[in-house]
Amino acid sequence: MIEVEVKAHVNDFEAVEKKLDEIGAKKIKFEHQKDTYFNNPDYRDFEKTDEALRIRITTIKEKEEIILTYKGAKMDTVSKTRKEIEAKVEDSKNTGLILENLGFKPVETIEKDRTTYLFNEFIISLDEVYKVGNFVEIEKEASEGEDFKESLDKIFKIYKKLGIEDGFERRSYLELLGIYNS
Chain contacts with a second copy (rule: CB under 8 A): 43-44, 51, 53, 68-70, 72, 83, 85-91, 94-95, 97-98, 101-104
Q: Please state the closest distance from residue 159 (CB atom) to a second copy, in A.
A: 30
Closer to a second copy by Cβ: residue 48 or 160: 48
- 28 vs 102, beta carbon nearer a second copy: 102
For residue 37, indicate whether it is catalytic.
yes
At its nearest, how many Å lie between a second copy and the CB of residue 57? 14
Q: How far is the CB of 84 from a second copy (least distance, A)?
A: 10
CB 126, CB 120: distance < 8 Å? no
Output 21 or 64, the one with its CB closest to a second copy. Answer: 64
* Cβ at position 132, least distance to a second copy in Å: 26
If the CB atoms of residues 55 and 126 are measured against a second copy, the closer one turns out to be 55
For the chain, give the secondary structure using H, E and C: CEEEEEEEEECCCHHHHHHHHHHCCEEEEEEEEEEEEEEECCCECHHHHCCEEEEEEEEECCEEEEEEEEECCCCCCCCCCEEEEEEEECCHHHHHHHHHHCCCEEEEEEEEEEEEEEECCEEEEEEEECCCEEEEEEEEEECCCCCCHHHHHHHHHHHHHCCCCCCECCCCHHHHCCCCCC
Pick the catalytic residue from 37, 159, 173, 180: 37
What residues are annotated to the active site? Answer: 37
